[in-house]
Amino acid sequence: MTSDRRVLVVDRTDGALAGVMEELDLLGFRVVWVPSPAAALAFIKTSPTLSLVIVSATAAEDGGDEFLTEVKRNRPDLRVLCGTKPNAPPSLRRGAFPDSLIPEPFRPNALRTAVSALLAEQFYPTAIATAIKSSALEVLGTLGEFRVDAGEFLVPNQTALSDLSAIIAFSGEASGHLMLSMTSEDARSLYLRFVPGARAVPVDRLEDLVGELCNRILGRLSAFFAQHAMSIQQTTPLFIRAAGSTMRYPGRHPSFGVQLTRGDARVSLEYYLADFDRSKLASGATKEVLGLGEILFF
């Protein structure tokens, strides 16, 4: 992946947005601070691959409106997020709008959600995000009516680990990993759909089910990559029993977490793409793959 992961924070006082900068750092961004919109404009002109600009409500008081106009004129692709305060200058609400407005002080969840919405396409193009969700729904759909809840970038202390998790790494012309996680209770419920009438189901077997589902979802994702002329090789699942624990991949891009639900049952899917060829995605699906349940006799 070639996307630049720099974020420019614009605030009068270095340190005022320390919490925001720390949060962005956890998400895998390199954070640069400048004290004013004017300095930000100068920086933007020399940094063509910048991902995002965050402007505090205080900094926006120093010509925020003109700043936004200039940014949108020169770099329409650059995402801008502005903080707001109850007494924010009305100018911010006229003319050039930021891509996102969130109230200050920034709360981590609100910031993460806003950053996810603004930058998801850069890390995980819509075609891939849709393929991953469709793959999960296709496989889990054989066990009941699941639906996808909103997803978000995950920071290390918010990985999707639950009671039982399985992670499968893949490499080749696209690389990364897929992790599936759920509670023991939800795994037991799904297991009974796999093997009706099973009585005492040992935890090893529940864990095995999580791995098998993860494998099947990755199988569909592999088919998606194959359709776009990208071949991947996958490993066998690794299992993690880690309720309340966290995982961390130093130096990684942010992973993305998706929740799938069926009634009270909840399945967490976390995916991480380290590398793939965007140009092949743009060319559209070119190869045929087999569907679930399809049989090819030789």
Partner 1 sequence: MSWSILVVDDSATARTQLRATFEAKGARVVEAENGREGLWRARSEKVDLIVSDVHMPVMDGLQMIQELRKHPELANTVIFVLTSDATSTRAAEGKKAGANAWIIKPIKPELLWKAVEKALFGRQSGSHAKSTPVADDAVRNVNK
Query: Rule CB under 8 A: which residues touch partner 1?
Result: 138-139, 141-142, 191, 194-195, 198, 204-205, 208-209, 211-212, 215-216, 218-220, 222-223, 226, 231, 234-236, 287-298
Minimum distance from residue 246 beta carbon to partner 1 (Å): 27
- Which helix (H) or strand (E) segment holds residue 52: the answer is strand 52-55
Three-state DSSP at 122 gives helix
User: In this complex, which beta carbon is closest to partner 1, that of residue 236 or of residue 279?
Assistant: 236
User: In this complex, which beta carbon is closest to partner 1, that of residue 67 or of residue 146?
Assistant: 146
Minimum distance from residue 268 beta carbon to partner 1 (Å): 19
For 151, list phi and psi in degrees, rounded to 5: -105, 170
User: In this complex, which beta carbon is closest to partner 1, that of residue 79 or of residue 220?
Assistant: 220
User: In this complex, which beta carbon is closest to partner 1, that of residue 107 or of residue 287?
Assistant: 287
- Which helix (H) or strand (E) segment holds residue 193: the answer is helix 184-194
The strand pairing partners of 136, in sequence order, are: none
Minimum distance from residue 266 beta carbon to partner 1 (Å): 20
Three-state DSSP at 148 gives strand
User: In this complex, which beta carbon is closest to partner 1, that of residue 49 or of residue 142?
Assistant: 142
Minimum distance from residue 267 beta carbon to partner 1 (Å): 15
User: In this complex, which beta carbon is closest to partner 1, that of residue 133 or of residue 216?
Assistant: 216
Q: Residues 6 or more apart from 267 whose CB is under 8 A from it?
A: 136, 140, 146, 180, 181, 182, 186, 213, 259, 260, 261
| Pairwise CA distance, residues 204 & 132, whole Å | 26
Minimum distance from residue 45 beta carbon to partner 1 (Å): 46
* DSSP 8-state class, residue 97: P
Q: Residues 6 or more apart from 120 whose CB is under 8 A from it?
A: 129, 153, 256
Minimum distance from residue 163 beta carbon to partner 1 (Å): 16
